Amino acid sequence: MFNFLKKSVVQADNHLYAPITGQVRSITESSDAMFSQKMMGDGFVVFPISEKIVSPVAGKVTMIADTKHAIGLKMANNVEVLIHLGIDTVNMQGKPFNLVVKVGDVLNPGDKIGYMDLKEIAEVGLASDVMVALTNSDDKISRLQLTAEDFNAGDRVGEMFL
């Protein structure tokens, strides 16, 4: 009914933002080897202390895994971003995640994506690390600059240089 209120164009913004409140570090500090060895691309990891997930970039939602643990975005500069919620949480079949976005949505940095239940993830013995991987960084990005410290969801944490 209110489709005219929806954003249709991805804004140009080469900054990166915290997808969740917590401690931001280089992706090399992730405990998941697939990410720490940059097999999925360069990026960063957040060790969360809250449950609200927001968009870490301005981008269009291109993919949501059936298990809700992974969301893909494409930026105006054609950088592809993967938000990966938790480590091995794919095995939880979507239970700890409540997402409010769908494929095709255009998001600004800090727009709400949903929530992840940190307690439920911890109860099954899994890590709740949130990885933000720039999956085509080798082709698109010359340098990534990050600030490693504590941030609130939606705070600017870095910038990519094309």
Q: Please list the active-site residues.
A: 84
Q: What is the dihedral of CA 23, 159, 74, 128, to 10 degrees?
A: -10
Alpha-carbon dihedral 94, 30, 129, 107, rounded to 10 degrees: -80
Residue with tokens 């949480």: 89
CA separation for the pair 159, 16 (Å, rounded): 6
Where does the chain show beta strands of DSSP type E?
15-17, 22-26, 42-48, 52-54, 59-64, 70-74, 80-85, 97-99, 106-107, 112-116, 130-134, 143-146, 150-151, 156-161
